[in-house]
Amino acid sequence: MKDFAGKICFITGAASGAGLGQAKVFGKAGMKVAIADIRQDALDKAVEEIVAYGIKKEDILALKVDLTNREQYKAAADKVEEVFGGPPHLLIQTAGVNSFGPIEASTFDDFDWVMGVCLDHVVNGLLIFVPRMIKAYANKTEFHVATTSSMGAFMAGSGTGPYSAAKAAVNNLMYSYAESLKPYGAGATVLCPGNINSNIGNAEKYRPENLKNTGYHVSEGTMKTLRAIHADGIDPIELAEILKEGIEKGRIIVLPSRDTEAWAAQLRAQNEIIEDYTLPAPEREAKAAERMKEMMKRFAPAEGEDGKDAPRPMWGVPEGGEPFGKARDDLDWIDPNKKL
C-alpha cells in the first residue's frame, strides 16, 4: 500500500503510545482516522493531540470500545462505515497490555487478560473487518492489515509467558494473512518493536476487576520502575513512520529501526537460540552460558577518557520503584528466588 491520502484508517489502542503515534502519522498522510480505546478520558486527550498535530477534527473519529467484546467491536466497525462511508483501507491493531512474573506463577486471569487484549482483540478485528474490506476494495483499490506485535514474539518469555505467547501467535496470523490477501490485491504487516515510550507500564491500573487475580507481584513501585524503562524507549512518531515506510515497501515484518540489519542480526540470534532447543541438554546449556558471557560484556565497566573504568548505561530501579517480574510471595510452589 503506497497511497494513503483520502483513505480510511482504523487504529486500536490509539489513545496513547504507539497507537497515538500511528494516528498522527497516518492522519498527516491524509487519511481519515478512527481511533479506538477503552478509556474515554484518554481518547478525548488523544483527539486534542491529533488536531494539534495538524489533522482536521472532522477527519478523526474516537470510539470507546472494549476490543475483547465482539459486539462492541462490530458496533465500532458499523460506526466507521456510517461516518466515513466505508470500512478502513488500513486496519492497524496496536492495543496491548503486559504483566511480568514467572510463567509458573501465572493464573487464569493473567492469561485471560493479557491474551484477551494482545491476541483475541486482533482476531476480533481481523474477522470483523477483513470480509468488509475485501467486499469493498478487492482488486479495486489498495488495502492493508497491520498489527503491532513485539520482538518478544521471537523469543522465550519465561517472565512474560502470556504476552510472548500472544505475540508469537499474532506474528503467525499476520504471515498467514499476508499470503491469503494476495489474490485480493492487499497485504499484511506485523510491526515488532522493542521498548516503546508508551504507557504500557501502567497497564495493571486498567486490568478489569473480574481479572484481578494475578500470580505476580504488582505494586505502585513495580509500575514506577516499568514507566522509567519505557520512558527510554523509541518515540511513537518515529516508530509509526518506520511502520508506514514498511507498509509502503511491502514488508511483512517491520523491525523497530531503519537500521534493519542491526535488528535483523538480533532476530538471527534469537532464531539460533530456538534452533539450539533441538540440541542435547549439555551442548545447549554450554552455548547458552557462552551467550550469557558475551551479553554481560556489554554491561562490564568500560575505560573512560580519563583512563578510569566507567559503568555502561543499564536500567536500574528508580527512587520509589521496586524490581518487577517476581511472583507473589504466598505461592507455595514457587522457587524462593522468584518471590519478593
pLDDT of residue 309: 53
pLDDT in tens, 246-303: 999 999 999 988 777 877 888 898 899 999 999 999 999 999 999 888 877 766 665 5
Would you state the pLDDT for residue 296? 79
Burial 294-331 (b: 16+ CB within 10 A, else e): eeeeeeeeeeeeeeeeeeeeeeeeeeebbebbbbbeeb
Confidence at residue 306, expressed as pLDDT on a 0 to 100 scale: 56
Per-residue pLDDT, 300? 64
What are 179-233's pLDDT values in tens digits? 999 999 999 999 999 989 998 889 999 999 999 999 999 999 999 999 999 998 9
pLDDT band at 307; cut points 50, 70, 90: low
pLDDT at 256: 85
Q: What pLDDT score was predicted for residue 316? A: 76
pLDDT digits (tens, 9 = 90+) for 94-107: 999 999 999 999 99
The β-bridge relationship of strands 309-310 and 302-303 is antiparallel
The pLDDT score that the predictor gives to residue 298 is: 67
Task: Give me the chain's average pLDDT, please.
Answer: 93
Which residues, listed in sequence order, are joined to residue 2 by a DSSP beta bridge?
none
pLDDT-derived band at 156, boundaries 50, 70, 90: confident
Given a cut of 60, is residue 312 above it in pLDDT?
Answer: no
What is the average per-residue pLDDT within 171-179?
98
pTM of the model: 0.93
Residue 163: active-site member: yes
Domain boundaries, the chain: 8-258, 260-298
- CATH code at 8-258: 3.40.50.720
Asked whether the predicted pLDDT for residue 117 surpasses 60, the reply is yes
Q: Which residues contact 15 (CB under 8 A, 6 or more apart)?
A: 35, 37, 39, 42, 43, 45, 46
Closest CA to 41 of 15, 14, 61: 15
Catalytic one of 53, 73, 137, 163: 163
Q: Is the pLDDT of residue 310 over 80?
A: no
Q: Residue 269 has what pLDDT?
A: 87
